Amino acid sequence: MVHDLKLSFFGAAEEVGRSCIFLESDHAKVLLDAGIKLGKHIEYPNIPPSIVKDLDAVILSHTHLDHSGYLPHLFAMGYTGKVYATKPTIELTNVMLSDYISISAPKDVTNKTMDLLHKSYEIAEFREPFKIKDLDVEFFQSGHILGSSMVRISDGRKALFYTGDLQLAKTRLLGGADLKNVSAETLLMECTYGSKKDVFPPESVTVKKMLSSINETIKTGGKVMIPSFAVGNAEQVLLMLDDYMNSGVIQKVPIYVDGMINKAMRIHRHNVIYARKELQMRILMSDYDPFRSPNFMPIENKGARGDVVKKEEGCIIVTTSGMIVGGPILFYLSKLAGNPRNKLLQIGYQAAGTTGRELQDGAREITIDRRKVKVGLTIENYHLSAHGDRPQLDLLLKRVHGLKRVFLIHGEAEKLAEFKGDISNRFDVVIPRQGERYDV
Ligand SMILES: [Zn+2]
Ligand SMILES: [Zn+2]
């Protein structure tokens, strides 16, 4: 016996997308996440079929497709083991994956594959350790989205801590990552915002600016579009808009909610026990349900979508996808992007290669369904991301006890290199590449 843990990286290596890390112990073979990379083309993790067949378990940190989107393909390749995740992650993943499969229609995935996946789920609760063969596994709140987890895995000799995606600060929805008494020698950390320049103002400052910008546009009868991730910043921004509309800070106009967000909101409502305490109390102590606010107007079909763009009124449209790679936002932009009275507010991470990133970088013409669309509206960026910024990543390194080795993943290559330069005097820092294997 070698008595070593081994890690192989099949994705999220010098990139944000297709998180997929293979962990081997003396007796267990486990996959940490099974994601895809979204962009103009979908990219899969480079995991060899021989490894998939031998897997004992998949640990799913959270529902975003860059962590969960490869699951159906694993089952299509013959995987027969369990998928461990929290209850909200399981429910949200079912919605996200059925949307992904119906839109991208991958040839290898059948109804039978999806049935196998649905039967494979095992609920993991936060801070309730369980065993996978010789491994002790424990989930911790990661503060990123509802049900999102960090995972500590130990073979009794060594421990590693995988952050998934994390947010240390409190948000409207969640109470921040739970890092109380966490120890591990090895850390696998996401670095979406790993550059020293990635320092964001407090949410209150961002929100104030955003609200006055929204008011400015609605006053002139313009439409404000907010492309959002169905799970995560959509709920955050909707709770915020509802709150400030009720208190009169923003003018009362319809908030149209289109796409998968409506389903995700229902799942948030009945899993509110996983949200921050203040939100739970508010729902318990009053009749008010912010997830089903009368300020929200769900858009249920294409006809209704057409009416929204035709109506001469100021309004707010919150819809998917967050990085403008699909979803109803493409329709709204194709109709509304030309009018300088309208506004596009980008609130989350925009990965390289997405239309969202092009717009963020100043593109004044984009392609939607092979048609060129002129961009005449105002574009503004606000940080309402569910990811921690660089000071929070530095804080994470202080909060995990006994750290010796740090793997930097889930980040753009330049940010990872910069981060490594800043911390390599304190830790053994590795930026793993696709397909590389390491002893831990
Ligand atoms: Zn995520
Ligand atoms: Zn991610």
Residuewise pLDDT in 10s, the chain (440 residues) = 556 899 999 999 999 999 999 999 999 999 999 999 987 789 999 999 999 999 999 999 999 999 999 999 999 999 999 999 999 999 999 999 999 999 899 999 999 999 999 999 999 999 999 999 999 999 999 999 999 999 999 999 999 999 999 999 999 999 999 999 999 999 999 999 999 999 999 889 999 999 999 999 999 999 999 999 999 999 999 999 999 999 999 999 999 999 999 999 999 999 999 999 999 998 888 888 999 999 999 998 999 999 999 999 999 999 999 999 999 999 999 999 999 999 999 998 898 889 999 999 999 999 999 999 999 999 999 988 789 999 999 999 999 999 999 999 999 999 999 999 999 999 999 999 999 999 99
Predicted confidence at residue 225, as pLDDT, reads 98
User: Which residue in this structure is represented by tokens 């990219």?
Assistant: 43
Residue 37 to residue 297: CA distance in whole angstroms: 31
Q: In terms of Cα–Cα distance, which of 380, 373, 304 is closest to 343?
A: 380
User: Which residue in this structure is represented by tokens 């329709």?
Assistant: 331
Predicted confidence at residue 385, as pLDDT, reads 76
Residue 133 to residue 56: CA distance in whole angstroms: 8
Exposure string of 24-46, with b = 16+ CB inside 10 Å and e = fewer, is bbeebbbbbbbbbbbbeebebbe
| Nearest ligand (C-alpha, residue 191) | 2
Rounded to the nearest angstrom, the distance between the alpha carbon of 387 and the centre of ligand 1 is 8
State in Å, rounded, how far the first CA of the chain is from the last one. Answer: 15
Helix/strand/coil for 296: strand
Q: ∠ at Cα 187 (181, 188), nearest 5°?
A: 130
| Nearest ligand (C-alpha, residue 232) | 1
Rounded to the nearest angstrom, the distance between the alpha carbon of 108 and the centre of ligand 1 is 25
The alpha carbon of 362 is separated from its chain's Cα centroid by a whole number of angstroms, namely 24
Chain region(s) in the chain for CATH 3.60.15.10? 6-197+386-439
| Nearest ligand (C-alpha, residue 63) | 1
Q: Which two tokens stand for residue 290?
A: 């912010």
Rounded to the nearest angstrom, the distance between the alpha carbon of 335 and the centre of ligand 2 is 30
pTM over 0.85? The answer is yes
Predicted confidence at residue 2, as pLDDT, reads 56
What CATH architecture does domain 203-381 belong to?
3-Layer(aba) Sandwich (3.40)
Rounded to the nearest angstrom, the distance between the alpha carbon of 16 and the centre of ligand 2 is 7
Identity at 228, one-letter amino acid code:
S
Residue 147 to residue 124: CA distance in whole angstroms: 10
DSSP one-letter code for 41: S
Rounded to the nearest angstrom, the distance between the alpha carbon of 217 and the centre of ligand 2 is 32
The matching CATH number, chosen from 3.40.50.1820, 3.30.360.10, 3.20.20.140, 3.60.15.10, for 6-197+386-439 is 3.60.15.10
Cα within 13 Å of Cα(292), Cβ side: 10
Q: In terms of Cα–Cα distance, which of 206, 225, 227 is closest to 217?
A: 225
The alpha carbon of 70 is separated from its chain's Cα centroid by a whole number of angstroms, namely 15
- Under a CB-based contact definition with an 8 Å cutoff, are residues 88 and 62 in contact? no
Rounded to the nearest angstrom, the distance between the alpha carbon of 379 and the centre of ligand 1 is 24
| Nearest ligand (C-alpha, residue 231) | 1
Predicted confidence at residue 284, as pLDDT, reads 85
Rounded to the nearest angstrom, the distance between the alpha carbon of 373 and the centre of ligand 2 is 29
Question: What residues does the ion ligand 2 have nearby, CB within 5 Å?
Answer: 66, 165
Predicted confidence at residue 103, as pLDDT, reads 87
| Nearest ligand (C-alpha, residue 149) | 1
Chain region(s) in the chain for CATH 3.40.50.10890? 203-381
The alpha carbon of 413 is separated from its chain's Cα centroid by a whole number of angstroms, namely 19
Predicted confidence at residue 39, as pLDDT, reads 79
